[in-house]
């Protein structure tokens, strides 16, 4: 073909033989950004998108008072997490009974231990395992 047809494209062989382009350095060092700047940026984004942002007070994080740990309900001691193995049929039976009684499996186990003579305080028998607040 002559004229302005397919034969007018530049040769591609030069591009294939060209040296690969240099890759950009993506190993960036972390930047220290002040908390106030982060809070301002979060407020700006929140206002732009109509979201509710709950940010800390205008004090820097280091100047804020530490929050007190939530203490357990008076009379209730510290709890630990214990695991034990049981047969599948017992797990299924406990799960079904917990659903029908609207309680937790932990409650059923503690209640059974108390009925068997173990020392378990009444305030520790919490049917639905809700966390107590101050």
Residues 48-105: tens digit of each pLDDT: 887 766 665 554 444 444 555 555 555 556 778 888 888 999 999 999 998 998 888 8
Q: Look at residue 51 and tell me if it is in a domain.
A: no
d(CA 27, CA 23): 11
Domain-located, residue 27: no
pTM exceeds 0.75 for this model: no
Angle at 13 between CA 23 and CA 16, to 5 degrees: 20
Kindly state the tokens that stand for 33.
Answer: 């950004």
Between CA 106 and CA 94 the distance in angstroms is: 9
Q: Is residue 78 assigned to a domain?
A: no
In a domain, 97, yes or no: yes
| Domain that residue 114 falls in | 88-124
Q: Is residue 95 part of a domain?
A: yes
pLDDT for res 130: 56
Q: Would you say residue 12 lies in a domain?
A: no
Residue 131 lies in a domain: no
Number of domains in the chain: 1
Instruction: Give the separation between CA 49 and CA 30, rounded to whole angstroms.
Output: 27
- Domain assignment of residue 3, yes or no: no
């Amino acid at each position: 073909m002559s004229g302005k047809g397919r034969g007018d494209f530049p040769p591609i062989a030069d591009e294939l033989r060209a040296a690969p382009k240099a890759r950009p350095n993506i190993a960036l060092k972390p930047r220290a950004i002040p908390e106030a700047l982060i809070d301002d940026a979060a407020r700006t984004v929140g206002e732009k998108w109509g979201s509710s942002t709950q940010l800390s007070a205008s004090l820097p994080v280091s100047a804020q008072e530490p929050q007190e740990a939530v203490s357990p309900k008076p009379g209730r001691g510290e709890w630990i997490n214990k695991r034990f193995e049981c047969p599948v049929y017992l797990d299924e039976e406990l799960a079904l009974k917990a659903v029908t009684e609207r309680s937790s499996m932990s409650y059923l186990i503690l209640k059974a231990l108390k009925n068997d003579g173990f020392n378990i305080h009444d305030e520790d028998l919490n049917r639905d395992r809700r966390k107590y607040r101050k």
